[in-house]
A = this chain, B = another copy of it.
Amino acid sequence: MPDAATEPAKRGRPRRGPDPERFREIVDAAAEVFLEKGYSATSIQDISDRVGILKGSLYHYVRSKEDFLYRIIKDVYDEAIDDIRKIGEGEQEPLARLAAFIRAHVRFAAAHLTAYTIQLREFEQLSAERREEIRQGGETYVEALQAILEDGQAAGLVDASLQVRLASIIITGELNSMTRWYSPKGSLEPDQLADVYVGMVLTSVASEAAVTKAGGVEALRTEFALGQG
- Inter-chain contact A221/B159, CB cutoff 8 Å: yes
- Inter-chain contact B125/A170, CB cutoff 8 Å: no
**A178: which B residues are within 8 A, CB to CB?**
170, 173
The answer, yes or no, to whether A211 is at the interface (CB within 8 Å) is: yes
- Inter-chain contact A196/B167, CB cutoff 8 Å: yes
Q: Could you tell me which residues of chain A, from 113 to 127, have a CB within 8 Å of some CB in chain B?
A: 120-121, 124-125
- Inter-chain contact B170/A173, CB cutoff 8 Å: no
Q: Could you tell me which residues of chain A, from 144 to 181, have a CB within 8 Å of some CB in chain B?
A: 159, 161-163, 166-167, 169-170, 172-174, 176-178, 180-181
**In the complex, which of the residues B40, B170, B208, B216 contacts A208, with contact meaning CB atoms closer than 8 Å?**
B216
A13 to chain B, nearest CB (A): 38
**A174: which B residues are within 8 A, CB to CB?**
170, 173-174, 177
A/B interface sample: 23 pairs, CB < 8 A? A38-B40, A38-B125, A39-B40, A121-B121, A159-B218, A159-B221, A161-B221, A163-B196, A166-B196, A167-B200, A170-B174, A170-B196, A173-B176, A173-B181, A174-B177, A200-B205, A201-B204, A206-B217, A207-B217, A207-B218, A208-B216, A211-B211, A217-B217
